[in-house]
């Protein structure tokens, strides 16, 4: 901490704010009157004005930041919005379930619990039968079929001002759906069309998507 041992003269202390034009009307009038009658104070005021001019010049010479902070900010806002939407979704499901259970009478609730227990037991039986049964009907085979389903994918970034309605309309127009994201840089992986597209067809669609600058800031084919 610096030494601030002595109070400066009251009017002299106000000179920097007078030079910057940030004093109240009354204080400015007091300083003006003092400057008019005190030549030494007026000389010191000239020094203050020099300091002010050079401080402005010094700060202006610092230039401006790159576009990086705005991109970083908007990415963080997108990520935050996606997280809170997910949180809102799970809270809504929780509240719906809570409301449903509260509406049920104790007897109904008890019967529901018994029914649920029976369903779980039946499901367990089916699963056991699947695992001990022939290999061709296993869960593993079904999973591979799903992964191998035809589809073409692209990576897209939406402009920061795009609303939820804009994004929904964009997805409908291109028969697309979001399968993953947001990734680093606020990018989303989307699936385009229902069938598999050739590389050229996918490139043409991505070109068309890139033209939609009102909604899209980035688009590229993806695996």
Partner 1 sequence: MQATSDEALIGRIAAGDKLAMHLLFARHHVRVYRFVLRLVRDESLAEDLISDVFLDVWRQASRFERRSSVGTWLLAIGRHKALSALRKRPGQTLDEERTAAIEDPADDPEIAVQKKDKSEILRKCLNGLSAEHREIIDLVYYHERSVDEVAGIVGIPANTVKTRMFYARKRLSELLKAAGLDRGWP
The single residue among 32, 36, 76, 125 that binds partner 1, judged by CB under 8 A, is 76
Rule CB under 8 A: say whether 62 interacts with partner 1: yes
Asked if 85 contacts 77 with a C-beta cutoff of 8 angstroms, the reply is no
Rule CB under 8 A: say whether 218 interacts with partner 1: no
Rule CB under 8 A: say whether 16 interacts with partner 1: yes
Query: Cα(48)–Cα(54) distance, rounded to whole angstroms?
Result: 10
Rule CB under 8 A: say whether 13 interacts with partner 1: yes
Q: Which is nearer to partner 1, 53 or 113 (CB)?
A: 53
The single residue among 33, 42, 56, 120 that binds partner 1, judged by CB under 8 A, is 56
Q: At what angle do helices 25-37 and 39-60 cross, to 10 degrees?
A: 120
Q: Which is nearer to partner 1, 87 or 137 (CB)?
A: 87
Cis peptide before 121 (omega within 30 of 0): no
- Residue of 219, 223, 203 lying closest to 211 (CA atoms): 219
Rule CB under 8 A: say whether 160 interacts with partner 1: yes
DSSP annotation of 95: H
Query: Cα(141)–Cα(117) distance, rounded to whole angstroms?
Result: 28
Q: Give the interface segment with partner 1, choosing from 19-27, 92-100, 117-125, 143-151 (CB under 8 A).
A: 19-27
Q: Give the interface segment with partner 1, choosing from 42-50, 145-153, 195-203, 215-223 (CB under 8 A).
A: 42-50
Query: Cα(41)–Cα(15) distance, rounded to whole angstroms?
Result: 9
Q: Give the interface segment with partner 1, choosing from 18-26, 88-96, 118-126, 198-206 (CB under 8 A).
A: 18-26
Q: Which is nearer to partner 1, 73 or 92 (CB)?
A: 73
Asked if 79 contacts 186 with a C-beta cutoff of 8 angstroms, the reply is yes
Please, what is the minimum distance in Å from the beta carbon of residue 186 to partner 1? 12
């Amino acid at each position: 901490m610096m030494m601030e041992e002595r109070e400066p003269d009251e009017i002299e202390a106000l000179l920097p704010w007078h030079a910057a034009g940030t004093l109240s009307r009354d204080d400015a009038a007091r300083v003006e009157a003092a400057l008019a009658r005190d030549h030494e104070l007026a000389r010191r005021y000239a020094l203050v004005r020099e300091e002010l001019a050079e401080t402005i010049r010094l700060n202006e010479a610092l230039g401006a930041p790159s576009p990086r902070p705005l991109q970083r900010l908007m990415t963080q806002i997108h990520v935050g919005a996606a997280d809170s939407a997910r949180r809102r979704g799970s809270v809504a499901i929780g509240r719906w379930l809570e409301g449903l259970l509260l509406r049920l009478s104790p007897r109904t609730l008890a019967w529901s619990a018994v029914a649920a227990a029976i369903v779980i037991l039946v499901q367990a039986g089916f699963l056991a039968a699947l695992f001990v049964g022939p290999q061709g009907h296993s869960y593993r085979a079904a999973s591979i079929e799903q992964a191998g389903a035809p589809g073409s994918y692209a990576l897209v970034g939406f402009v920061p001002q795009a609303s939820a309605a804009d994004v929904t309309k964009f997805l409908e127009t291109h028969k697309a759906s979001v399968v993953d994201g947001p990734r680093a840089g606020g990018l989303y992986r989307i699936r385009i069309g229902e069938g598999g597209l050739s590389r050229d067809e996918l490139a043409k669609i991505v070109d068309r998507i890139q033209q939609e600058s009102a909604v899209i800031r980035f688009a590229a084919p993806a695996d």
